[in-house]
Amino acid sequence: MLIVISPAKTLDFEKARIVKQDSFPEFASKAYELVKELKHYNPEELMRLMGISEKLAALNNIRFKQWQKDPSKELARQAICAFKGEVYTGINVADWSNEDFSYAQEHLRILSGLYGVLRPLDYISPYRLEMGTKLPTKKSKNLYDYWGSGITKCVTTQLKKLDKPVLINLASNEYFKSIQTKKINAEIITPVFKDFKNGEFKVLSFFAKKARGMMSRFIIKNRLSQSEQLKDFSDDSYYFNDKLTKGNQWVFTRD
Provide the pLDDT for residue 174: 97
Give the pLDDT confidence score for residue 2 in this predicted structure: 98
Other Cβ atoms less than 10 A from the Cβ of 183: the count is 11
Q: What is residue 161's three-state secondary structure?
A: helix
Domain range list for the chain: 2-254
Angle between helix 43-50 and helix 54-66 axes, rounded to 10 deg: 110
- State the Cα–Cα distance between residues 199 and 190, nearest whole angstrom: 24
Q: What is the tens place of the pLDDT at every residue in 165-218?
A: 999 999 999 999 999 999 999 999 999 999 999 999 999 999 999 999 999 999
Q: Which residues fall within 8 angstroms of residue 134, CB to CB, at 6 or more apart?
A: 49, 141, 142
Assess contact for 23 and 121: CB atoms under 8 A: yes
Q: CA torsion 13→15→89→85, rounded to 10°? A: -30
